[in-house]
Chains A and B, each alone.
Chain A
Amino acid sequence: MMYRKSSRRQRVALIALLAATATVITLDFQKNPGGPIRRVQEVAVAVVAPLQDGISSVFRPVGEFLSSLSEIKDLRKENAALEAKVKKQEDQLRRFPELQRENTSLRELTQLKDWTAGKTLGARVIGVGPSNHEWTAFLDKGTDDGLREGMSVVAQQGLVGRIVFAAKSYSNVLMLIDPKHSAGARLTTSGDTGSVTGRGEDDLLFRHIEPVTEVQVGEAVVTSGYDRGIFPSGIPIGRVSSTQKSRDGLTKTARVTPFVDFKKLDSVLVLLESGPVDAAP
């Protein structure tokens, strides 16, 4: 008798929870920017992000110390390689002022905007998203710091991704390697453009390359700016690791290894003057 009663209570509760789930799915489907889901989402981020911030600032030094221990034996080899690299790059640097002058005057002629020129905001990665199918990171800056959804995020080595959710003092960035992330891209040698899509842990996929274009392995890939201006033109993305002809022979694809090491992402810059052109200011 007792058991039957509690079993009926359980069934009622289960139905109520299922109804609540259906409501959540429906409300979210509406994609209402001022809707209740959006507001709950802001609350969830406001609760979780500061705690992530705390945990990551406590454990980051520990992690860094442990990984530095395992790196000691490779340091000597790395040092020799770096010395050789520095010599080579010093030679290249001598030609740099000349190239820069030429570049500036060409930019003035074509009125191209330099992505490094605009205002930026430094931010720290405090944690990642909870899904194993998503490559997102939480940043310790939000709309109060002038950050908006759609802005580009870069690290020292190159493009990181774009802001997809901005709460008051925290935000979420969709990383370049996420399968939902695409960016207009350009091959630096041929100047041919296409789009680069994330593939998770695998190399990025550069699509829509003209079949006649010569693509070299090791060639650098940068943003093209041809995606309604989501990403400013010229941000380094990565290097071509391999190329492939599509089955119908109409286009070529290339695999691109990103410059940014997404496992060790720490400090990033948000380009405050970037973002889709048609977005509200």
Chain B
Amino acid sequence: MRRTGIFALAIVSAVLLQTTLFARTLFGVAPDLVLVVVISFALLEGPLAGATSGFFGGLLRDLLVTVPKGLTGLSYLLVGYAVGRIRPYVQSMSVFVPIAAIFLGSLAGTGLYEILQGLLGQQTVSWSTGARVVVLTALYNTLLAPLVYPVIRRIVGLYQNEKVYRW
């Protein structure tokens, strides 16, 4: 219960920050903080937490946009699951692991959303503009990763004290 509350709080805060303070701040692009939070959860908590937070985080984003709902939910849930699944195979404890994961996961998440939107004929911008936004968002997310990831690790630690890592 406490864990669910912490998940929800982190995701809502991410949505709030990206739609107010960070709105269109880097070449007209805002970071996708929801995705950063989802990837961080996936890294720390495994594929189940990644997929669940991806689904709900994506759904919240979906509910606040005017295009068909569900596509963000689908993209983020797949990325959350994949990141959680791949994490145990990366042996390194380096700080660059989460940063690289957030960069690649952000590319995959926003790129997948872009492709799904195109497949459903809901594309509103050209592929080149779309690709530019995907890369910029991933870079912005990576820039903010050193700020967001430690916060998520700290709040995960709040309920995880007695938990044993599976890897």
Q: Return chain A residues, CB-CB under 8 Å to B125.
A: 133, 179, 200
A14-B51, A51-B12 are known contacts. Are A131 and B20 too (CB-CB below 8 A)? no
Our pick among B15, B29, B73 for the contact of A24 (Cβ within 8 Å) is B73
- Taking CB atoms and an 8 Å cut-off, the chain B residues in 45-62 that contact chain A are 46-48, 51-52, 55, 59-62
A52 touches B62 (CB 8 A): no
A130 touches B61 (CB 8 A): yes
Q: Return chain A residues, CB-CB under 8 Å to B38.
A: none
A17 within 8 A of B: yes
B16 touches A131 (CB 8 A): no
B74 touches A129 (CB 8 A): no
A13-B48, A14-B51, A21-B55 are known contacts. Are A56 and B20 too (CB-CB below 8 A)? yes
A128 within 8 A of B: yes
- Could you say which of A42-50, A74-82, A88-96, A101-109 contacts chain B? A42-50
A48 touches B70 (CB 8 A): no
A13-B52, A47-B12, A132-B29 are known contacts. Are A28 and B21 too (CB-CB below 8 A)? no
A69 within 8 A of B: no
A25 touches B55 (CB 8 A): no
A87 within 8 A of B: no
Contact string against B for A residues 145-184, beta-carbon threshold 8 Å, 1 for contact and 0 otherwise:
0000000000000000000110000001010001110000
- Secondary structure type dominating chain B contacts: helix
CB distance from B66 to the nearest CB of A (A): 5
- In the complex, what distance in Å separates the CA atom of A63 from the CA atom of B165? 43
A253 within 8 A of B: no
B77 touches A17 (CB 8 A): yes
Q: Return chain A residues, CB-CB under 8 Å to B28.
A: 132, 200-201
CB distance from B53 to the nearest CB of A (A): 11
B68 within 8 A of A: yes
A13-B48, A133-B125 are known contacts. Are A29 and B68 too (CB-CB below 8 A)? yes
Q: Return chain A residues, CB-CB under 8 Å to B77.
A: 14, 17-18, 21
B129 within 8 A of A: yes
A130-B18, A130-B34, A132-B29 are known contacts. Are A24 and B12 too (CB-CB below 8 A)? no
- In the complex, what distance in Å separates the CA atom of A14 from the CA atom of B77? 8
CB distance from B7 to the nearest CB of A (A): 14
B69 touches A28 (CB 8 A): yes
Query: Closest chain B residue to A42 by CB distance?
Result: B63
Q: Return chain A residues, CB-CB under 8 Å to B61.
A: 130-131
- In the complex, what distance in Å separates the CA atom of A14 from the CA atom of B80? 10
A131 touches B51 (CB 8 A): no
Our pick among B30, B60, B68, B136 for the contact of A25 (Cβ within 8 Å) is B68
A250 within 8 A of B: no
A134 within 8 A of B: yes
Given contacts A14-B81, A134-B65, 10 further A-B contacts (CB under 8 A): A17-B55, A21-B73, A48-B15, A48-B60, A128-B24, A129-B19, A131-B65, A132-B30, A132-B136, A201-B28
